[in-house]
Amino acid sequence: MVRVSRVHPGSVAEQIGILPGTELLSVNGRELDDFLDWEFLTAEEDLLIVARSPEGETVELDFERDLGEPLGVELEPPRVRRCANKCEFCFIEGLPQGLRRNLYVRDDDYRLSFAYGNFATLSNLKERDFARILEYRLSPLYVSVHATPWEVRKVLLNNPRVPNVVEQLQRLAAGGIEFHAQMVIVPDMNDGEVLQQSLADLWALGDSVLSVAVVPVGLTQFSHLYSGRSMDEQSTRALLEQVERWEARALEERGTRWVFGSDELYLLAGQPLPEAAHYEDFAQIENGVGAVASLRQRIATQLAELPRLDGRRIGVVTGQAMAPLMPELLERITARTGASFELLVAENSLFGPTITTAGLLVGKDVVRMLEARADLDLALIPAESINEDGIFLDDVRFIDVRENLPMPVFPSYDFIDVLSLEGEGVSSSGAHVAIAR
């Protein structure tokens, strides 16, 4: 059963009497378990839907609609499938106590992998799940592989019942499913020979594996494995060289780089980040692979849209990872706009100094960096640090931060999004507000 949360006005669903709160029980004789069943089973023209109205009455809705015409129904969010692993390096395990409850939910859900690109380990897949993935052709899936040697993967995921991921991927690949894989590298656990074997196993799956991201582990100060240091330059350099050897082979044999080091891997290794073309279709940009190249590209192509902002003093809050890369970008924006920028590099007060990503800065960090800066006309903060409800990871609300700082503050993805609005800016909710001159 799935429950309706919203019905679009004027939609087919409204016309046939579906209401918010209606329980959808079956479609053309097949029971509904979740949003996937609903999406795939309602792809037909002729539909017989059995539903229970909010008053508890069971009704049959027999109708025909034009193929492709949306039904206009939104469903309540699915119950997320929980993770059965206990990885020592798990970021969620490394969260401090006392944050909002949903931050502690460890999902491992192939449905969300297909629908939203969330990574899943597939270690909780049942026979029925395999059947659904194959029947509905849920492809591509985003898979946290980490290591293919079975025994190593059991240790890494801290779960002796983890299935053999190579066999799982082979079975799905034989049914036409494709994958984007990620390898979070924990030094001395799945680097070196283990990584070599893992990449060889994924390579042997042929074109089914669309891309592989190699990402150095990020440990917070609350993690069991926390040592107070990030991966060192020497080990990340060795990792990057291994990635580059595979890239070269993949380019020669398949015409794609196939495996990509995350931005953080290049930064920790002290190596220059590649240009945008390196990342092909940016398949794993959400995983921090090519995000800097994409930012540079957006600034280069949209710089001409920026207005003159002569005399403006603009603060830019960022994390330590991006700090060395910012001056080059800000110099270009300064040359175009005439504004003067000041980089404000914040240490992460919640997760500790090894977490240097700008998008994980918290509300407290932003306040600390800006509260005494009445000299600034405007401040930009990383838009990724706020969720869709306008809340930072430390539960501080953006509107509270904004109201209590002495200058207008705007979340920004790429500077252009805020600065291109000459004489005005946008709040996180999209409302236009004046920028102080």
Binding site for ligand SF4 (CB under 6 A): 83, 85-87, 90, 92, 106, 108, 121, 144, 157
What is the DSSP track for 174-199? HTT--EEEEEEE-TTTSSHHHHHHHH
Query: In angstroms, what is the minimal distance from the CB of 389 to ligand SF4?
Result: 22
Look-up of token digits 């990503």: 357
Give the sheet arrangement for strand 313-319, strand by strand: 340-346, 313-319, 378-382, 409-412
Neighbours of 415 (CB within 10 A): 25
Which is nearer to ligand SF4, 108 or 247 (by Cβ)? 108
Which is nearer to ligand SF4, 80 or 421 (by Cβ)? 80
Which is nearer to ligand SF4, 121 or 318 (by Cβ)? 121
Query: In angstroms, what is the minimal distance from the CB of 244 to ligand SF4?
Result: 26
Q: Which of 380, 386, 388, 390 is nearest to 419 (CA)?
A: 380
Which is nearer to ligand SF4, 119 or 279 (by Cβ)? 119
Helices 326-337 and 291-302 cross at an angle (nearest 10°) of 10
Which is nearer to ligand SF4, 113 or 230 (by Cβ)? 113
Query: In angstroms, what is the minimal distance from the CB of 265 to ligand SF4?
Result: 18
Query: In angstroms, what is the minimal distance from the CB of 106 to ligand SF4?
Result: 4
CA distances from 278 to 205, 206, 256, 266, 293 (A): 23, 21, 10, 13, 9
Which is nearer to ligand SF4, 3 or 82 (by Cβ)? 82
CA distance 179 to 35: 21
CA distances from 357 to 351, 366, 413, 432 (A): 11, 14, 14, 28
Query: In angstroms, what is the minimal distance from the CB of 179 to ligand SF4?
Result: 16
Supply 416's token pair.
């252009």
Query: In angstroms, what is the minimal distance from the CB of 94 to ligand SF4?
Result: 9
